Amino acid sequence: MAMDQKVNISVSLYLDTAGNLSKEIDSASKANCSSVTVPIVHWNYNREFVREPLRSKHGPFTRSDLLLSSTQWLNRVICRIGDNLDLDSPVDHIQRQAERTIRQEMSFAEHLVQNGYLYTKLSSTNCANFARTVGCTMFKGTLLVEVPITNPKLTQYGWRRDVAEDADATVESPWCWWNTFRCHADYNPTVKVALELTADVPKQEEIFRWLGEPVDAIVLPANIFLTNAKNYPVLSKAHQSMLNLFYRTFSCHFILKANPSDGHLAHYVDYIKYTIQHNYVKNPLHGYEDLLQIPLQPLYDNLDSFTYEVFEKDPVKYIYYQNAIEQALLDRVPEADRATATTIIMVVGGGRGPLVRAALNASQTTNCKVKVYVIEKNPNAIVTLTAHINELWRDRNVELISTDMREFNPPEKADILVSELLGSFGDNELSPECLDGAQKHLKDSGISIPCKSTSYINPCFGSKVFNQVRLLERSPHWKDRVISSRHMEQAYVAYQKNAYHIDNPQPLFEFVHPNRESDDPIDNNRYKTVRFRAALDCVMNGFTGYFDTVLYKDITLSIHPFTHTKGLASWFSMFIPLTDPVQLRKGDEITVHFWRCVASHKVWYEWSLSAPVVTHVHNIDGRGQPIWQ
């Protein structure tokens, strides 16, 4: 298939039993499957349930590891453990035997596949001992836990008139099984979900809830396929779109449960690959998904050349800025005066000059005479700006002032103050503090571009970001710990894909520039209480943060998911964690308190829940993350 080069899609064939393993791998391979998912236990070998420690007098309980090379075990086999074992049986001896047996299987499976895949199946919320025995192990590889996307009972109840109506309410979602399992297992990062699609398609919100989970594989049983006119297996539209959604989110692999003696096995596999490839859209931000980044502090740290370059490459941001400046110039300068009157534009935080460029372009397109003052504190950027002034802009009226905008005394007041000081959370790079300081250089009638910024939050769950923060938190490097051990009390920048957004975003803090209404000195402390609601039982481990900004009149930039500026690439959203994940019940109100605190040398956020549970106040006194002024 020509499209095969675009994306790498691997399908594993699920076998109930495997007689001759090499042969099975070969036949699966002929059906375009890259591996087989097989039970670790071979039915040829009778197992005796021996007590620990294992006695050497007992014979082997399964086939030898010499059957395959270690590379084959790793790449060609997904080892299934725990078939037909009930570790949570109320019958004591069944539970004990099951535990011993699965430990033996787990140990041998790890011996075989090393850092490859183990596979097991979850089928109930009653799984404390199962979770403890298999879920709490830190695997060298990955344990896939098979969970169906709808409860098998739902299908069954759907047919029975007596229970059909409230089947939804009484049948527990298998997501709850998984949630119980992984809570006992303490969010073990080596345990992931193999999500089995079912003939029933769950409600959209229930599908979305899986987007925050560590889904690694999608299991496709043959019975969810339809047969098209040409007798080929195909999926319904609903199944297709689920498949594509999960692939886009997780880049997952697939496990096909079909009859291995079905001569048309390859048709299933090819159809899966085709469906994914056909709908695949290249993502220019691929590679950044769910990676936590520490927010920039450009006021405190000087940005480096690489960072400037990344931001200057944004395909749309400076076009919007140019549009805003154009509009402001046209509004401000009567047509008759455009050739004579000089408009003073002050670019505060000039960087390597993109806003100067936008201002000069706007001057040209509107035929308005301008003088541009560019204020920059970073001595490294000054070098670039000086070069631009001497070469690129030598015929233009640009004056460079090398200082901190808060301390600067300009020769004249500005008509238009242009800045790009906003972070992913709006005010988190201290644009209010900077612009409050700079606004004294603005004429009373002057314009600030941007003139408003608003931050937004919504509660979310994302297992990848959670595991990253956890890893930092539990880092054994004591030196790290001493410097800042409160990784759960910091806001991160992250392009969140592996996320379930529990409710729609709501506005948090708003800042207006110039701020002439406020008392003097301007108080940029903020305190706001925001309420959300959970549509389903789910888990929350923090908030996703966004912002939008009005540059001028109706010219805005936004990373709010509902109003995101098309093509805007300069900002990822924010992730603001909670120290401990919070279990939510359907209908629960979530009440969160957010503070923006300002002291003489730093600014910081604090946050705390008061419903449905009360949490400690995060980042008190900025102990986890101060933003230095």
Helical segments of 200-264, H only? 204-210, 237-250
In whole angstroms, how close is the CB of 525 to its own copies at the nearest point?
7
608 lines the binding site for its own copies (CB under 8 A): yes
Using the contact rule CB under 8 A, the part of the chain among 395-403, 414-422, 436-444, 525-533 near its own copies is: 525-533
Residue among 162, 519, 554, 566 that touches its own copies (CB under 8 A) = 519
Q: Are 342 and 370 in contact (CB under 8 A)?
A: yes
CA separation (Å) from 56 to 254, 405, 422, 571, 596? 39, 78, 68, 61, 66
Least CB distance to its own copies at residue 54 (A):
11
Residue 521 in contact with its own copies, rule: CB under 8 A: yes
Of 147-155, 176-184, 192-200, 434-442, the segment contacting its own copies by CB under 8 A is: 176-184
Cβ proximity of 285 and 569 under 8 Å: yes
Residues 6+ apart with CB under 8 A from 180: 125, 127, 131
Using only the alpha carbons of the chain, give its radius of gyration.
Answer: 30
- Of residues 186 and 589, the one with the C-beta less far from its own copies: 186
Is residue 615 a contact residue for its own copies (CB under 8 A)? Answer: yes
Distance CA 602, CA 471 (A): 27
CA 260/CA 420 separation, integer angstroms: 60
Please name the residues in contact with 513: beta carbons below 8 A apart, sequence gap of 6 or more. 417, 431, 432, 435, 439, 448, 450, 451, 452
Taking every pair of Cα atoms in the chain, the longest distance, rounded to a whole number of angstroms, is 104
Binding residues for its own copies, how many (CB under 8 A)? 43
Among 185, 348, 358, 534, which residue interacts with its own copies (rule: CB under 8 A)?
A: 185
Q: Closer to its own copies at the Cβ: 333 or 597?
A: 597
Q: Which of 47, 103, 153, 184 binds its own copies (CB under 8 A)?
A: 184
Among 335, 478, 483, 517, binds its own copies (CB under 8 A): 478
429 is catalytic: yes
The CA distance from 626 to 489, in Å, is 10
Q: Which two tokens stand for residue 135?
A: 């879920």
Please provide the DSSP assignment of 315-346 as one string.
TTHHHHHHHHHHHHHHHHS-GGGTTTPEEEEE
User: Angle of helix 317-332 relative to helix 354-366, nearest 10 degrees?
Assistant: 40
Binding mask 126-155 for its own copies (x = CB under 8 A): --xx-xx---x-------------------
If binding is defined by CB under 8 A, does position 541 make contact with its own copies? no
Active site residue 420: yes
The active-site residue, picked from 24, 376, 420, 606, is 420
Binding residue (CB under 8 A) for its own copies from 384, 484, 620, 629: 620
Of positions 476, 483, 517, 566, contacts its own copies by CB under 8 A: 476
Name residues whose C-beta falls within 8 Å of residue 594's C-beta, 6 or more positions apart in sequence.
457, 508, 509, 526, 527, 528, 529, 530, 605, 606, 607
Which residue number, 404 or 473, has a Cβ lying nearer to its own copies? 473
Q: Find the catalytic residue in 429, 433, 489, 606.
A: 429
Peptide bond into 148 cis (omega under 30): no
Part in contact with its own copies (CB under 8 A); list of ranges 73-81, 222-230, 465-473, 602-610: 602-610
Residues involved in catalysis: 420, 429
Q: Which residues bind its own copies (CB under 8 A)?
A: 51-53, 95-96, 128-129, 131-132, 136, 179-180, 183-187, 476, 478, 481-482, 519, 521, 523, 525, 527, 529, 580, 583, 593, 595, 599-600, 606, 608, 610, 613-617, 620-621
